[in-house]
Homo-oligomer: A and B are copies of this chain.
């Protein structure tokens, strides 16, 4: 057994059995070893941003890591943006990067670069294997590091000779470390803060947004009047009909200020005090209302669901079934839009009405997606995956990985046209793996968010040369041709009815599809 075989066997022993990859020469032994360890599934991406984004989507849905296999520093470089998003989503990812043989590195061959230097900004754990005998242990520890609460990116750098040299063998499954429990005095402090508040807000993110956390929070809210809100961008939230509804902080800082006006107690569960996404001249970046000292119920490294349940018990909230008003009640089942213009709103209505139960939404629709998010509050129950790190080009890769993790669930990817071009190669992987992903491109032919932001940062009277940099009409992207060129069946919708028909077709037929919504 060589080092590569010992590593793959160890990864499988530790629950990692999908490898998203675009390998090169220095990774050849790892690739060859795939035929020795058939439990590991190799999934090819035609660009590393697809690979790392898919690993992110997989980890968010599987609650365990996939591994990547990237080619040296430049391959890692191509994957950095989506590793950044994965880091912000706290997704467990075992990020394996090939490296030159240990004795080759100092020769500074053309592909040599500082891989550790590139990996550190996006990784919670980085290790360079030093020999074939270490690779298995390093791999097992990488899995443990990626899984340790909160999840994150564990980067293992694999010099080629550690893969091809003989190794002593694989490592069995390591014991998993559970998230630590929030201290009882944190729970009591949160209860006390809520008790004395005029307006208390519990701000949540991470695993607090799974059903268990949401239901505990709803109990607290029902009993105390505290409000429950989540961050603007979260790795994953369970929502839809029959689930607890929760407020979402707006994107624009001035709207957060309005939203939090009058809040005198802010309780944090798995997140940090709110800050502006960007700085704007003359405006504060800190969005915690003045004079409020946030109370930490649970840090992101702690068991958020347990902490919320403990707080619900501390405030003597009844069980969710015993509440006067069931917070999971469905107020309104969405219907199809009336005939007429196709807009982000009418498209969102169709999606909300037609999306099947248990779907997964990968959302990078920026300006167009807000309508869908609100409309789908009472759609069939689903998971919503956000653009967590603000780095565009996440949506299609994350959808790809989510579909690999959950082959029996429909994946709907809502995407702006600007961001979709970043990692458009994901469509090919969806076709190759016959993944059940429907991509909806909101084609407004612009970086619309930047047209807004240009005004908001106070860049006055923008001229034509500035504005042309946000304009995607010259030439117009033909999405149906691009998708079909990569093997994905595609259609273009120009009216609300047409979109409903197209979307219905995609919901009723398995496999990858793309719909261009012409706005």
Residue A101 lies at the interface, judged by CB distance under 8 Å to chain B: yes
- Kindly provide the distance from the CB of A414 to the nearest chain B CB, expressed in whole angstroms: 19
- Kindly provide the distance from the CB of A85 to the nearest chain B CB, expressed in whole angstroms: 8
Question: How does the 8 Å CB contact mask read for A8-37 relative to B, with 1 for contact and 0 for none?
Answer: 000000000000010111101101101100
- Bound state CA distance, A29 and B456, in angstroms? 11
Q: Contacts of A183 on B, CB cut-off 8 Å?
A: none
Interface stretch among A241-249, A273-281, A395-403? A273-281
Q: A482's contact among B88, B459, B485, by CB below 8 Å, is which? A: B485
Q: A88's contact among B110, B278, B425, by CB below 8 Å, is which? A: B110
CB pair B49 A78 closer than 8 Å: yes
CB pair A272 B117 closer than 8 Å: no
CB pair A278 B34 closer than 8 Å: no
List 30 A-B residue pairs with CB atoms under 8 Å apart, sorted by A's residue number.
A25-B449, A25-B450, A25-B453, A25-B457, A32-B459, A32-B463, A34-B466, A72-B391, A74-B390, A78-B80, A78-B81, A100-B279, A104-B276, A104-B279, A107-B286, A110-B233, A110-B390, A111-B389, A117-B118, A117-B120, A117-B121, A160-B279, A164-B459, A432-B474, A476-B487, A477-B485, A478-B487, A480-B485, A481-B481, A482-B485
Q: A110's contact among B277, B449, B468, by CB below 8 Å, is which? A: B277
Residue A150 lies at the interface, judged by CB distance under 8 Å to chain B: no
Interface stretch among A39-47, A136-144, A317-325, A499-507? A39-47
- Bound state CA distance, A469 and B24, in angstroms? 10
CB pair B88 A81 closer than 8 Å: no
CB pair A23 B450 closer than 8 Å: yes
Q: Contacts of A96 on B, CB cut-off 8 Å?
A: none
CB pair A111 B390 closer than 8 Å: yes
Residue A77 lies at the interface, judged by CB distance under 8 Å to chain B: yes
Residue A431 lies at the interface, judged by CB distance under 8 Å to chain B: yes
Q: A28's contact among B49, B277, B286, B457, by CB below 8 Å, is which? A: B457
Q: Contacts of A466 on B, CB cut-off 8 Å?
A: 31-32, 34-35
- Bound state CA distance, A457 and B30, in angstroms? 11
- Bound state CA distance, A47 and B49, in angstroms? 11
Question: How does the 8 Å CB contact mask read for A324-363 relative to B, with 1 for contact and 0 for none?
Answer: 0000000000000000000000000000000000000000
- Kindly provide the distance from the CB of A206 to the nearest chain B CB, expressed in whole angstroms: 14
Interface stretch among A217-225, A377-385, A416-424? A416-424
Residue A114 lies at the interface, judged by CB distance under 8 Å to chain B: yes
- If A44-B468, A118-B80 touch, whether A391 touches B476 (CB-CB below 8 Å) is no
CB pair A276 B482 closer than 8 Å: no
Q: Contacts of A428 on B, CB cut-off 8 Å?
A: 421, 475, 477
Residue A122 lies at the interface, judged by CB distance under 8 Å to chain B: yes
Q: Contacts of A46 on B, CB cut-off 8 Å?
A: 418, 421-422, 472
- Give residues 39-98 of A contacting B (CB, 8 Å): 42, 44, 46-47, 49, 72-75, 77-78, 80-81, 84-85, 88
Q: Contacts of A34 on B, CB cut-off 8 Å?
A: 463, 465-466, 469
Q: Contacts of A75 on B, CB cut-off 8 Å?
A: 81, 391
CB pair B424 A424 closer than 8 Å: yes
- Bound state CA distance, A421 and B464, in angstroms? 32
- If A279-B100, A463-B34 touch, whether A468 touches B42 (CB-CB below 8 Å) is yes
Q: Contacts of A456 on B, CB cut-off 8 Å?
A: 25
In the A-B complex, the 5 residue pairs with the closest CB atoms: A35-B463, A475-B487, A77-B80, A74-B391, A481-B485
- If A391-B111, A469-B42 touch, whether A32 touches B462 (CB-CB below 8 Å) is yes
Q: Contacts of A481 on B, CB cut-off 8 Å?
A: 481-482, 484-485
Residue A407 lies at the interface, judged by CB distance under 8 Å to chain B: no
Residue A262 lies at the interface, judged by CB distance under 8 Å to chain B: no
Residue A184 lies at the interface, judged by CB distance under 8 Å to chain B: no
- Kindly provide the distance from the CB of A8 to the nearest chain B CB, expressed in whole angstroms: 11
Question: How does the 8 Å CB contact mask read for A412-451 relative to B, with 1 for contact and 0 for none?
Answer: 0000001001101100100110000000000000000110
